[in-house]
Every structure is written in structure tokens, then in C-alpha cells.
Chains A and B, each alone.
Chain A
């Protein structure tokens, strides 16, 4: 029996639910794997895990937000044969990754402004926050399974990898990024694939009566689909909600935020440029209040924008 450990970093619980929702497929996995650690599902102690010599497959969920997360990530990954970064937080830093803009001390300060109790983490025995990062900043995992939460498509691929590994003892390719190597537009049910995108402005979701058959961009609603990896079967879009980019970039290592900034700016009001001129165009672009939150909601930590922040020094 191979040893499988599921390690939570800074999580929301969504990846636990996603894994658990494998349902009957878990039974197949359990034919080959013994789950030696998974806090929500299995009653095994961390101390046991720390004492083990090796783990066959380690699945790390969540971002690294505390010293504890970092320690577990480093030490346990070192003795694991196959490391899986599960979920967008683990692969890209996710939404906790947005905190990478701030110093840990400032995060504590902000929280303590919102909470009555005086928060001094050491005094309460709470783990120390660290500069927030992705699991992939600490380890080079063999498998990257993005998604917030990981989708059926990604989980199916992961399951197949786990079963193949169990049967053959080998992984096909080093550093597999799960999902399909294309953007969401390729198979989007709304992409008319003929006309151009006449983006009439920038509209918030409540400002538009959303047409469930029309491309979001053509309605003035920002959809990250063009730059986002197809890790899913468009569930958000089918429920009349634009893609917010939880799948990350199409290719590992690219910066989907900068691409999408360019794409959006380029197609916005393209037929009215000479009528609106710079002031009119600027007025419309000003409707984007939070560029990082809009274009890097899930991927900031791994982005060029973040690298630039570090280059500039200081805080954002």
C-alpha cells in the first residue's frame, strides 16, 4: 500500500470538499493508497506523519500563510516521492496570495483593528504569519492541480495519475499542469466565433441585464476566459457568471494578468476611440478600481506584477 498524505496549508475547506466529492472514485484510490494524514477525513496524528521516513504521494492544499504551513510544506515534501499542489492557492497562491502585497506584521495589525481581542500571536500560541506564498514557491511539485476548487476535470486527471503511479511506479511527465492546454474561449458556449468583440464599456454585473447567450465581453462585463486555462467545463459561464480566472494562466509560468490587461484595454470601445478620445476612454477605464484584484485575483503571488512589487521595494 502506498502512503498518501493530504496536508492543509492556509485553506478554506473547498479543496477538502472537492477531494471528498470524488466519492466512489476514492474507493478505487484506496485500493492502492493508505491515507496516512488528512485532518478532516482520517484520524491520524501529525506527530506520526512527521516521524515517517517517506510518503509516496503528498497532496498539499492551500497557500502558505504561517510558519507552520511553511514548515510542514518543506519538511514533508522533502520526504515525499510525488508532490501534488492541489487547488489554486497551492499552485498560484490563490486569494490568500493577494496578501503577499503586505508584510505579515501589517496583516496582524489590520486584523487586530477588526477584532476586539488584543491579538499578539505569540502570546496566544497562534502560529506566526509569514509572507504569504504558494506551495510552488517552496517546492517544485510533480503535479499541479489548479482550480478554486479543483474541478471535476482536474480531479479526474489527478485520479488517473494516482492510479497509474500506483500501478506503474512511474510518472509520465515531470511537472504536469492539469486541465486542458487551451483557454476557456476555445469551447465556450457563448463564443460566436465569427463577429468581433464590440466591448461597449466596462459594466459591473448589476449594471447589465445579462444575456445568457452573449459573450460577456460583448456586454461590457470583464471575463477572464480568454487568458484562463480550461480546467473546467465552463460552469460559471453556464450559470451566467463571468470567469474570474481561478484556473490560472493557460501555460505554467505565463502571466495571465498582463495578457488580459492588454486584451481588455485593446478591445474596449474599439469603434468609438476617435469619438471618445483619451478623456472618454480614460473615464471608462477608471471604472476598474482594483487592477490587481481584478486581473490577479488568484495568481498574484506568481505574477510579474508581484515580481515588480519586489523590485520596487516597500509595500503596495
Chain B
């Protein structure tokens, strides 16, 4: 059985999550390797949640939120997500996890095609990087 990437996506309810909905309504196609978890705001996402995903076998984590500076439904949660992810990526690098395995994108509710593009390109990138930790036993 060939390896398929395991990717968790955190989408905020108001922007990226809405874009995913529109992608569905428009019957756009993207790779099923990404499982979505809807959060009220990307500001809810803690580094702990992201690390937990990797520790439990995820090969990649994708975060979709509202565009800065003004789209966040809760004013500035996206900025919190940005800062946390930025620091976490440094940590990932230091412990030997490719920082590209964690990706943060701003996707508005009207950008369903962008969501599809991001998901598909992210899955491709993870495929190239391979499973986290090399060949699974």
C-alpha cells in the first residue's frame, strides 16, 4: 500500500471554513488527504494542538484563516495565529521537523479556488517531503 499523507487542516469558521463550503457547493475537487477541523477563529489554535497533530502521526498541518489586517471576525485573532505559528516554525526547525510541514494561509470566504489550490499544493509538498520521521515502520 503506497503511503498517503495524513494532514489535518484547521479552518476558521468565518473565512477559510466558509471558503471550503463554497468549494463544496461549486463541486471543486481537492485531495482527500486533508481532514478539516473547524475552529471559531485561528486565534483559538494553540501550538499544543499543532504539535499534538504531529506527535500523533500527522505529516502536515494546514491552517486557514481570515486575511490580515481587517478581515478577522473577532478583530485580530489571525494576528495571534500568525505570531504563534511563526515561533512554532522556529521550534520545528530546531527539532528537525521541516517547517514547511506547517502552513498558514489567509483564505477569505470568497476564495474557494484559492483554498483548493492551497490544499492541493500543500498535499503535493507533503508528498515530496515524505512521511514525518522517514519510512513508517
Q: Which residues of A contact B (CB under 8 A)?
A: 101, 255, 258-259, 261-262, 264-266, 268, 270, 273-274, 277-278, 281-282, 285, 288, 290-292, 295, 304-309, 311-316
Is A307 in contact with B68, judged by CB distance below 8 angstroms?
no
Is B94 in contact with A273, judged by CB distance below 8 angstroms?
no
- Looking at the assembled complex, report how far the CB atom of A260 sits from the nearest CB atom of chain B, in whole angstroms: 10
- 8 Å CB contact of B87 from A101, A265, A313, A316: A265
Q: Is B47 an interface residue (CB 8 A)?
A: yes
| Count of interface residues, chain B, beta-carbon cutoff 8 Å | 29
Chain B: CB-nearest residue to A281:
B83
Chain B residues with Cβ below 8 Å from A258 are 46-48, 51
Is A266 in contact with B94, judged by CB distance below 8 angstroms?
no
- Looking at the assembled complex, report how far the CB atom of A6 sits from the nearest CB atom of chain B, in whole angstroms: 34
Known contacts A259-B48, A278-B82, then 11 further A-B pairs from the complex at CB < 8 Å, ordered by chain A residue: A261-B84, A262-B48, A274-B70, A281-B86, A291-B94, A292-B91, A305-B94, A309-B96, A311-B55, A311-B97, A312-B95
Is B48 in contact with A304, judged by CB distance below 8 angstroms?
yes
- Looking at the assembled complex, report how far the CB atom of B58 sits from the nearest CB atom of chain A, in whole angstroms: 10
Is B54 in contact with A308, judged by CB distance below 8 angstroms?
yes
- Looking at the assembled complex, report how far the CB atom of B100 sits from the nearest CB atom of chain A, in whole angstroms: 13
CB-CB contacts of B75-112 with A at 8 A, as 1s and 0s? 01001101110111011101111000000000000000
Q: Is B20 an interface residue (CB 8 A)?
A: no
Pairs across A and B, CB under 8 Å, 5 listed: A262-B47, A262-B48, A278-B68, A312-B132, A314-B96
CB within 8 Å for A266 and B69 given contacts A258-B46, A313-B134:
no
Is B95 in contact with A273, judged by CB distance below 8 angstroms?
no
Chain B CB within 10 A, most for which of A268, A290, A312:
A312
Chain A: CB-nearest residue to B133:
A313
Is A266 in contact with B55, judged by CB distance below 8 angstroms?
no
Is A311 in contact with B47, judged by CB distance below 8 angstroms?
no
Is A312 in contact with B133, judged by CB distance below 8 angstroms?
yes
Chain B: CB-nearest residue to A315:
B96
Give the docked Cα–Cα distance between A251 and B50 (Å).
21
Give the docked Cα–Cα distance between A273 and B94 (Å).
26
- Looking at the assembled complex, report how far the CB atom of B50 sits from the nearest CB atom of chain A, in whole angstroms: 9
Is A261 in contact with B96, judged by CB distance below 8 angstroms?
no
Give the docked Cα–Cα distance between A265 and B82 (Å).
9
Chain A CB within 10 A, most for which of B83, B90, B96, B97:
B83
Chain A residues with Cβ below 8 Å from B51 are 258, 304-305, 308
CB within 8 Å for A268 and B83 given contacts A273-B76, A311-B54, A313-B96:
yes
Give the docked Cα–Cα distance between A270 and B83 (Å).
10
Is A312 in contact with B96, judged by CB distance below 8 angstroms?
yes
- 8 Å CB contact of A316 from B69, B96, B133: B96
Chain B residues with Cβ below 8 Å from A311 are 54-55, 97, 132-133
- 8 Å CB contact of A261 from B69, B87, B95: B87
Chain A residues with Cβ below 8 Å from B96 are 309, 312-316
Give the docked Cα–Cα distance between A101 and B94 (Å).
9
Is A261 in contact with B88, judged by CB distance below 8 angstroms?
yes
Chain B residues with Cβ below 8 Å from A101 are 95
Give the docked Cα–Cα distance between A288 and B90 (Å).
9
Chain B residues with Cβ below 8 Å from A281 are 79, 82-83, 86
